[in-house]
Structure 1
């Protein structure tokens, strides 16, 4: 009896279906009916099968020298009878993939890599088509990976229709079965469904997926044969290996929107591994140092700008206080102030903004790098997993994240946020949140792979080193300090701000009477504005108003009178 160890059709098994995708049971080849043909070529094997309906199927498998994880396959279908044979469509099964057992991680579900994927090199269906064939169909995008959790309650994904299929695959986080036709195929359908396998060692159900691709065969005339050839990659998701195969097979890595960063980082990591005696751990360390050195000038410039900004905090706070309540004026004056003192307030943001895509690119690269699977470094047995040194009540004790948070905390101690009285409530809240940032990183990165935590730890150490060097250089560099002329100018600015500063009450009363906030009060303008506004509340006008409106107007008149009395008394005091 032919038996299978798990659910799903065997990899590269075939069956036939009608135009609606329903199986043609009387034409499905029985795997036990194939007979192997002995060949002198040790890299090649042939299987043949003949049915009672005069259908002959020959399946040839071979591999070329110096090819890793790649072999080739050809299926030849022949009509040996005297009558035409309509096979309609053939389905080629892509095998199955199951979730790789991982340690507990609440922030990262490795099943996102458990999917059926494809690459469509052709255009989508013409917009507006509503024929029976096209009704309800979903055209395949250029490349797409349908995750196991996207297959719905039925456990079956919605069939994708490809106008020009370049390849199709089934994969998990580190391994892939990828089938590529010798020539792009037209009118291809991609199927997928979920599987479950029982783990006999732990008694747990392991989630999996299986997939298939189907393509048209059509009518076979008597004596006619049709052949279909494929190149198959079945092995680890090795970026360099998949890239060398062409046909956009590197898309299987699923690097996301930061692929343009992940791809060169993956190449650099493998190149450094070869230079460093095959150690991926040292490769990650050196790669992190090189990236940090590349960003060194930008970070140093940001540090210098940050130091100068700290020296200007006093005048800037008084400038904000002077124009309090007028955000537009504050922004205008602040930009003018920055320009006068040649300071860029955003200089400190650039290193952070640049590091975010680099970090995410490194994250996606290390997350799917099969090269790290099973590779140890220091006490970590597997760089693709947590650096577990012990387990307490089922909880993994990881040492590397502790080192990481210690370096993060010390790094922030070297660049403390100033908590001056001039800070706004939002700035104070932001400063308090930054104090907890190392512990937030600890919670987040504690469950991720040791490779990612190693990268972030080395990054912190390099930042600490750069901060110490830059601070020492700034202390000994006269150009980085505020010159005596700048100090005199700042003092003059502060005196001018103090001289022109007004209280909140005066600002409110000036607004009521339509006076300028900046500068001294013009007595003539005060009198004119007061008389103009008071005319709105003359007794003749108040008599025509309703009771409620009259009451409101009298309150406004009273506030106007108090504002006038306050400002007039202020003018008399100054004179």
Structure 2
């Protein structure tokens, strides 16, 4: 190595040494940095009580500043995460109560929303070990997993969001009003206000943002409300209750709508103004209503739960609250917390009664404006729901008796032609098509319609279907007892089984059994004189149907199966009395003979039927010839 190379290496070494001196940390700096890191670690984990006591009682000067450093770093961390709301984090829970003669609402300062609601004058039935039922208090919104949180768009915090359910509010109660206020520094705050009135199931509710306009992120026009409700099982037949529980909502200027009741569903109404959003069980609901200004939009989602889950369903709504800015902004709402009583919900005049699942179109109309008021009229006079059902059946049967009379008369006329029908049957034993054509000629000749007994039943179908929806939807039948049934809105139980039968259940409903037996007996009596040789399968189907429906109606509302059973009894009574004391077979026979001599007019339908029958008969004859 020559002299020049040695000088170059010395210069390079000198530069590296000088640079390390200028940029290196002193021992004091290194120790200070380590202390900061240790303090941060201590601030992020709670110290055990024993360790804290040792630090507090020691006289070592090096340990005295540690708690102060921890508090400072913790406060800095909260300020970073929550901005001006850092002082509203932590603290003990305080519950304030609002109460009237109908509900008791417990409000928590942790999150500032409803902890639970006791609905007075209504109860839950809990099955005991001896299979008896016990009444227990009924609560709404009583689930620790529930959420009701506004996402405040605060600038400078992570994600520009402060969730109000993480805040601890300063709560005050003045008469029938509770105010929760979360301070945000410099006199600004977020406030939730609740007021209850006597004799009402709803609360006046409002939120206020005071002095927060300087903290709200620029350009924000909405505040998102995240409402998550794990609704509880309130009815004995919770599997049935599940299919009547969902989210209902009403778009401004439109009819109400709802999420699918029988499967997971999502409804996206983002950017569409909504008047209210309701979380509804079969007979109770919790509804958030916008007052003068509608919600800016919402996305609603329902999620089914397993039968063994403690929850009935998971209902989630992300609701957009309009925000116009300013130093003092308020948004007024109300919260309904009570039963799905038609008259009560109708009194609010916002279409809230439409959450009661009476049905849509003509069936819902019949239930709301015909059957419901008619039944209430009877119930107010009689005072017993079961007896009122029987009286309603009697009156309905009397009103519809002209239709039933026509059906029975048509059957009697068909019975009077049975000798002629038997002759045709014997004449065409090997040719059912020919027998059917001759029967049609016979019916036309004597002026008898084989469909005459069916049309009255078809006309009554809308009423039957409306009743099918009426009983399980009406809270009037909830926990009302009649005979052995203790709840006409749920299934009646005559015996519990030690096992569960798929699609049937683990109980036996006596009203359903009685309905099936009476249906089979009535069918046998009513059709024993009818000729079913043209379609022998119908003879067995009519008996098979009631047995099949045993599985369906075993877990249905006993109010309906009670109605169906007593309706069958009235049908049997009307049929027996009419056939024995009203109809005269000789007179009916004479009437048919008169019709035989009258000139006949063939309508287009009969002409088409006869043409079709002739074509069918011609095809059969051709097939027979080909086989020969």
Relative to the length of structure 1, the TM-score reads 0.68
Cα distance in structure 1, aligned partners of 2:594 and 2:182: 91
Which residue of the partner structure matches residue 414 of structure 1? 525
| SS, match of residue 299 in structure 2 | strand
Select the residue among 527, 537, 541 that pairs with 1:429: 537
Corresponding position: 1:390 with 2:521: no
8 Å contact kept, 2:290–2:333: yes
Select the residue among 248, 257, 266 that pairs with 1:143: 257
| SS, match of residue 91 in structure 1 | strand
Cα distance in structure 2, aligned partners of 1:188 and 1:32: 25
Select the residue among 144, 152, 160 that pairs with 1:16: 152
**Cα deviation, residue 383, structure 1:** 1.6
Which residue of the partner structure matches residue 73 of structure 1? 205
8 Å contact kept, 1:162–1:186: no
8 Å contact kept, 1:16–1:88: no
8 Å contact kept, 1:85–1:219: no
1:330-349, aligned counterparts within 5 Å? 338=443, 340-349=445-454
8 Å contact kept, 1:164–1:184: no
1:35-46, aligned counterparts within 5 Å? 35-39=170-174, 42-46=175-179
| SS, match of residue 413 in structure 1 | helix
Which residue of the partner structure matches residue 405 of structure 2? 300
Which residue of the partner structure matches residue 371 of structure 2? 265
8 Å contact kept, 1:44–1:61: yes
What are the ranges of 5 or more consecutive residues in structure 1 without an aligned counterpart? 124-140, 152-156, 491-503, 513-555, 564-575
Counterparts in 2 of 1:184 and 1:300: CA distance versus 1, 3 Å: farther
8 Å contact kept, 2:259–2:267: no
Aligned alpha-carbon RMSD (Å): 4.2
Cα distance in structure 2, aligned partners of 1:81 and 1:510: 88
Which residue of the partner structure matches residue 235 of structure 1? 338
Cα distance in structure 2, aligned partners of 1:74 and 1:409: 60
8 Å contact kept, 1:99–1:173: no
8 Å contact kept, 1:159–1:189: yes
What are the ranges of 5 or more consecutive residues in structure 2 without an aligned counterpart? 1-91, 94-109, 116-141, 500-505, 599-613
Which residue of the partner structure matches residue 248 of structure 1? 351
Corresponding position: 1:50 with 2:161: no
Deviations 1:269-293 (A, max 9, x none): 333222222x222222222222222
8 Å contact kept, 1:94–1:178: no
Corresponding position: 1:454 with 2:562: yes
Counterparts in 2 of 1:195 and 1:460: CA distance versus 1, 3 Å: closer
8 Å contact kept, 1:46–1:60: yes
8 Å contact kept, 1:174–1:236: yes
Deviations 1:86-117 (A, max 9, x none): 45422345552535266679xx7432223222
Deviations 1:503-551 (A, max 9, x none): x9xx879977xxxxxxxxxxxxxxxxxxxxxxxxxxxxxxxxxxxxxxx
| SS, match of residue 159 in structure 1 | strand
Which residue of the partner structure matches residue 34 of structure 1? 169
Corresponding position: 1:188 with 2:297: yes
Counterparts in 2 of 1:47 and 1:300: CA distance versus 1, 3 Å: same
**Cα deviation, residue 7, structure 1:** 5.1
Deviations 1:309-339 (A, max 9, x none): 23235556777988x99989977x8777555
8 Å contact kept, 2:222–2:296: no
8 Å contact kept, 2:414–2:530: no
**Cα deviation, residue 488, structure 1:** 7.7
8 Å contact kept, 2:206–2:330: yes
Deviations 1:336-360 (A, max 9, x none): 7555533333321123213332222
Q: Which of the pair has the greater relative contact order for Cα pairs under 8 Å at 6+ separation? A: 1
**Cα deviation, residue 28, structure 1:** 2.4
1:69-148, aligned counterparts within 5 Å? 69-79=201-211, 86=218, 87-94=220-227, 96-98=229-231, 100=233, 109-122=240-253, 143-147=257-261
Query: Which has more radius of gyration?
Result: 2
8 Å contact kept, 2:143–2:230: no
Cα distance in structure 2, aligned partners of 1:354 and 1:184: 46
**Cα deviation, residue 453, structure 1:** 1.1
Deviations 1:156-175 (A, max 9, x none): x3533362312111112221
8 Å contact kept, 1:84–1:219: no
Cα distance in structure 2, aligned partners of 1:317 and 1:428: 15
| SS, match of residue 433 in structure 1 | helix
